[in-house]
Structure 1
Amino acid sequence: MRAFVAIPVPDDIKQFARMLRNELGRARPDVKWVEYQNYHITLKFLGEVEDKQLPELKRNLRLAGDSSPPLNLSAGGIGFFPNRMRPRVIWLGINGELDKADFLGDRVDAYLSSMDFEPERKRSFHLTLGRVRSETGWKEMLKVLDKIPQKDKMRSFRIQHFELMKSTLSPAGPVYTVLETFTLNG
């Protein structure tokens, strides 16, 4: 199964992301938008994981949670990977206690290293809004973006747990399923 480790975001952040997405969508850009229920912050992509690995994986993630403190984050500001002129991904920025988020990521990497998962080289915390398929409607969308007054307003939220997620690909897009939730107890 395809799996990843995610920081969930609360409904008010998902609603903010959907509002921004809807505003940008008025320009009818050629973008595959992320579905509301799939909004999350990726902490670590694991790739293919065998069922027999799940008990050890869950045990190690629980240890990472036990050694990591809860954290406060905020979401706001729209950005692009790799950049605004040649975008592939449209994202909502994540700020706040990023040192604690990095610490959690480091703990996840440390505990999963015994299972031969490679550590992350660079973390860039964000919430993906959509993936750009072509330049169709792009200039119009940038004009709409520049007129959205709330795009840079930061919205705060508290994180007290993270999740092991399964990703199942379907013709309608990915379906994410929570396999286990881990509390931040550090």
Structure 2
Amino acid sequence: MKRLFTGIYLPYGIRERLSNLCYGIPGINWVSEENFHITLKFIGEVEEEKLFDISDSLSEIKFTPFTITIRGVGSFQGKPNQILWAGVQESEELINLFNQIEKVLGQHEIPKEKRRYSPHITLGRAKGINQKKLDEYMFTNHDFSILESVPINNFQIFSSVLKPKGPVYTIEREYDMIG
């Protein structure tokens, strides 16, 4: 069994800039620079043979390259963890990619998302952090922006192994865009 998700692995320079946001709040498990990505769709635990079928089906998705803008920081309040994130501006192309992936995965009995897709880059996870420190962090970094558009030319299917120091992601397959 492999724990899988689809996502967009970000270029090195972008990951490096995002890592500059990962500081200053005790109790946060910051995401390591090599793990920064935009999750498209969490798939879950899948048998190895089903991975091959899913992987082949995802290769049928066709669309042209596009760009994204990374702007702002925020947090999702959840149980048991609070997620700190950098925002990804929604675009028609990104939503189209998400919808195509949802459709393909639905053919493999992967349930559709119940929540509205909210593109973001997870920076860190926390349990019971100091709210004052979090508020200061948000105030300091609220206008974070990567000024240039980030080119998106492919997406990936990742496996995820949960370790005590955080997840380890492995790219299982990459899908280049047509265009």
Question: What is the TM-score when the length of structure 2 is the normalising length?
Answer: 0.89
Q: Is structure 2 residue 82 aligned with structure 1 residue 88?
A: yes
Unaligned runs of 5+ in 2: none
- Is the contact between residue 77 and residue 153 of structure 1 (CA under 8 Å) also seen in structure 2? no
Quick check: which one's strand share is greater?
2
Superposition CA RMSD, Å: 2.0
1:175 to 161, 168, 171: 168
Q: Distance in 1 between matches of 2:42 and 2:163?
A: 18
Deviation at residue 131 of structure 1 after TM alignment? 1.0
Provide, for residues 73-100 of structure 1, a one-character-per-residue CA deviation record: whole Å limited to 9, x for no partner. Answer: 01121111139xxx8111000016x211
Q: Is structure 2 residue 32 aligned with structure 1 residue 35?
A: yes
Q: Distance in 1 between matches of 2:52 and 2:145?
A: 41
Percent identical among aligned pairs is 29
- Is the contact between residue 13 and residue 155 of structure 1 (CA under 8 Å) also seen in structure 2? no
Deviation at residue 150 of structure 1 after TM alignment? 5.9
* Structure 1 residue ranges (4+ consecutive) displaced by more than 4 angstroms after TM superposition: none
- Is the contact between residue 31 and residue 134 of structure 1 (CA under 8 Å) also seen in structure 2? no
Q: Is structure 2 residue 1 aligned with structure 1 residue 6?
A: no
Equivalent residue, structure 1, for 2:64? 69
Equivalent residue, structure 2, for 1:147? 140
Q: Distance in 2 between matches of 1:144 and 1:49?
A: 37
Equivalent residue, structure 1, for 2:126? 132
Deviation at residue 29 of structure 1 after TM alignment? 2.7
Quick check: which one's helix share is greater?
1
How many residue pairs are counted as aligned between the two chains? 175
Question: What is the TM-score when the length of structure 1 is the normalising length?
Answer: 0.85
Q: Distance in 2 between matches of 1:70 and 1:89?
A: 29
Q: Is structure 2 residue 104 aligned with structure 1 residue 111?
A: yes
